[in-house]
Amino acid sequence: MDVEIFKSTILDIYPSYTKKAILKQAVNDGLVINHKKNSEQMTLNFTDCIDVSDDETLDAKFEHILDSERILAMIEEYEYRKPYRHFCYFRYSTLKAEKIEELVKDGRVNVFDKKEQRPVDEKEKPTIYLLGESIYLKFSFMLQNDVGNIIKYVILVVIDKENKVVEFRFDRVGIAYKNSYTYYKDKIDAILKYLRDNIELETTVIDFKALVDYMKSEKDDITIVAQRMNRNGTTAYLEAYEDEASIIPILGELDTFIEKEKDLFEVDANTRRIREKLQDFRREIEVKSDMPLVKIRMDESGIKFGITHNYKGTEYSLFMLYGELVGEEMMSSVKEYIMRCDKDFRAATSADTVSEEEV
């Protein structure tokens, strides 16, 4: 890979909060010294660290450190750990480790080795990295916009052996670079084909629409808000209140109205019947409406993510993290929760199936 393209991508494309996270890690790893301005802290430098304490701006500090191979290698490793804006999951049944070993032996993939402290990513050639019980494959693409600027764009594939899922992670890129409204879909399709052809990894989609329905009815530690609803051939785009206390805003208002006017509905049998009819109508709307886009808040952590079902006409769902992407625990928290719910859902479904068979 062209190192200059990598450096310009970091300087021009990475948001400030990502640069701050990288700089903090570089300091923690002992690669960079970055004392606060006018600090009287004594600087001891026994390992040829890069001292950016006198550089005035964040970009100036990065221009200073990006000539170091050790820093570039650290950033390549950071690309495996960082939170990405978008992600999606596929299930797999069997992983043939020997096929991956063949790719490495034949030199068809690069291997990231932290001890070597040098960048290894190449254009259109995956890099493999082992971390815990997961295998990471990083696909690096060189994208050029209409004025000739070239950036490095990463799609990360995580083969999670514990949960037997394949996870795709990626960030947004401007339309000038992707030149297609189906760019992400096309790349996912191509990488799925690569996995089939090269390591014989067969994947299946996960029915997240059914899983969300299960979560909505069985889980009380999240808030689910419909962002888009299809009903009777029409599409409604919905905006929740800031506290996001209701699944569908207008239905939440109806619930509040019925509760607030409970004395009115208790006047006689007719008013009670009207209340029952309203409640039945409210439940019917929620049950029969299709929600192709939902937003979920994990109540304890406050992490918010969206799920778009049947993304670009496919059978899979695309996830999106909201807010500032700070800390790798964001993605792991969402994944752990989703996988736990999926396990509970499959167990409940299996139990229901057994009960039906017994009957």
Q: What is the pLDDT of residue 326?
A: 78
Task: Indicate whether 136 pLDDT > 60.
Answer: yes
CB-neighbour burial class of residue 173 (10 A; exposed 0-12, middle 13-18, buried 19+): middle
In contact, 52 and 20? CB cutoff 8 Å: no
Sign, CA dihedral 78-79-85-91, equals negative
More reliable by pLDDT, 285 or 119: 119
pLDDT tens-place string over residues 236-265: 445 544 444 444 555 666 777 888 888 888
Q: How far is CA 208 from CA 89, 108, 315, in A?
A: 10, 34, 10
Place 217 in a pLDDT band, splitting at 50, 70 and 90: confident
| pLDDT confidence bin for 275, thresholds 50/70/90 | confident
Give domain limits for the chain.
3-205, 208-248+289-358
pLDDT at 318: 95
Mean per-residue pLDDT of the chain: 84
For residue 128, pLDDT beyond 90: yes
Continuous segment of H or E residues that includes residue 193: helix 183-199
Backbone angles phi, psi at 292, to 5 degrees: -70, -15
pLDDT at position 89 is 97
Average pLDDT over residues 290-313: 86
Share of the chain above pLDDT 70, in %: 83
% of the chain exceeding 90 in pLDDT: 50
Q: Which of 24-28, 88-92, 99-103, 134-138 has the lowest mean pLDDT?
A: 24-28
Given this model, what pLDDT does residue 117 score?
85
- For residue 74, which of 30, 109, 108 has the smallest C-alpha distance? 30
pLDDT of residue 288: 46
Determine the Cα–Cα distance for residues 169 and 79; give it in Å rounded to an integer. 10
* Most confidently predicted of 35-49, 58-72, 343-357: 58-72
Helix (H), strand (E), coil (C) string for 158-171: EEECCCCEEEEEEC
Q: Report pLDDT for 250.
A: 59
CA distances from 144 to 9, 120, 187, 329 (A): 11, 21, 16, 32
Q: Strands 134-144, 127-131: parallel, antiparallel or unpaired by DSSP?
A: antiparallel
Per-residue pLDDT reduced to its tens digit, 70-115: 999 999 999 999 999 999 999 999 999 999 999 999 999 999 998 8
Say how far apart CA 112 and CA 84 lie, in whole Å: 20
CA-to-CA distance for 259 and 262, rounded, in angstroms? 5
Give residue 1's pLDDT. Answer: 62
Using the predicted structure, report yes or no on whether residue 41 has a pLDDT greater than 60. Answer: no
Give ∠ CA 291-295-298 in degrees, rounded to 5: 135
